[in-house]
Amino acid sequence: MAPHARGIDPKLEKGWIHSIEREDEVRLKWFRKHEERLNEIANATCSRTVPEEAKEKFAKGLIENFRNVQRFSRKKVEEAELISPGKLMDIMRPVDHEVKKMIYEREVDGRKRYLQKRAHLLPEKRYYLPECSSWIYGWNIFDTMKTLKRYPFGREEVIKHSFYRRRGIEREPDWYRKPAAFSPNICTAE
C-alpha cells in the first residue's frame, strides 16, 4: 500500500484506534486492581528517620570546621594590580616596538610599510591561536617539518604522505590505468 498524504491510511485507521483503546482499557484495569496498594504506598509514613543525636553531631562538626578554617587577609583595592580589559581579550600578540613606530612616521606610506611588514610575519607570530578554520592547516608547520624523516637520496613525497590516506580515497595505482590506444606517442607500426 502506498502511504497516505495525511499520515495513516484510512483503511488502517480503525485498527490503530482499536489498539489505542485496548491499551487504555488494560492500563485502567491494572490501576483498579492495584489501586489500594498504590494508596497505601503513597500515604505511608517514612520509616527511616535520622536520630536527633546524629543531627546534633553533624551540626557541631560543621560549626567546628567553619571556626577552624585558615583565614587570609584580603588585599586592599589600591594594592591589587590593575589589568586593562583589552589584555583579557587579546587575540593578537603584541607588535614589535620598531614595527609599531612605522605607523606614526611622517612619510606618506608609513601605514603601508607597517602593513607590509606585518603581512610578512607568519600567523603564528602574529596571533596566539588560529583565528579562522583555514589557518589550522599549516599552523606551526615549521615545527612539524623539523620532525619529518629526511631521505638522503631522492625527493620527499610530502604531499602524498600528508594528504593521501591509507584507507579511503587514494590515488589510482599506475598499473590500473590503461594506455591510450590511438596516441601519437605510441607506435602501432608492425
CA 189/CA 182 separation, integer angstroms:
12
Q: Above 90 in pLDDT, residue 31? A: yes
Q: CB under 8 Å to 130, separation ≥6 — which residues?
A: 123, 136, 139
Domain with 121, as residue range(s), is 91-173
pLDDT category of residue 149 using cuts at 50, 70 and 90: confident
Let me know if residue 185 belongs to a domain: no
In a domain, 99, yes or no: yes
Query: 143-177 burial string, b = 16+ CB within 10 Å, else e?
Result: eeeeeeeeeeeeeeeeeeeeeeeeeeeeeeeeeee
More confident residue, 188 or 19: 19
Q: What is the pLDDT of residues 156-186, one digit of tens each?
A: 676 666 666 666 665 666 666 665 555 555 5
The answer as to whether 181 is a domain residue is: no
Answer whether residue 100 is part of any domain. Answer: yes
Q: Quote the CA–CA distance of 140 and 120 in Å, as a whole number.
A: 15
Question: Is the residue at 86 inside a domain?
Answer: no
Does 29 reside within a domain?
A: no
- Which of 91-100, 113-122, 138-147, 160-169 shows the lowest mean pLDDT across its residues? 160-169
Residue 14: pLDDT above 80?
A: yes
Asked if residue 124 belongs to a domain, the reply is yes
Query: What CA–CA distances, in Å, run from 54 to 1, 64, 86, 157, 169?
Result: 70, 15, 53, 74, 68
Q: Which residues contact 188 (CB under 8 A, 6 or more apart)?
A: 182
* Position 138 in a domain: yes
Mean pLDDT score, 51-58: 91
Tens-digit pLDDT profile for residues 71-83: 877 766 666 566 6
- What is the number of structural domains in the chain? 1
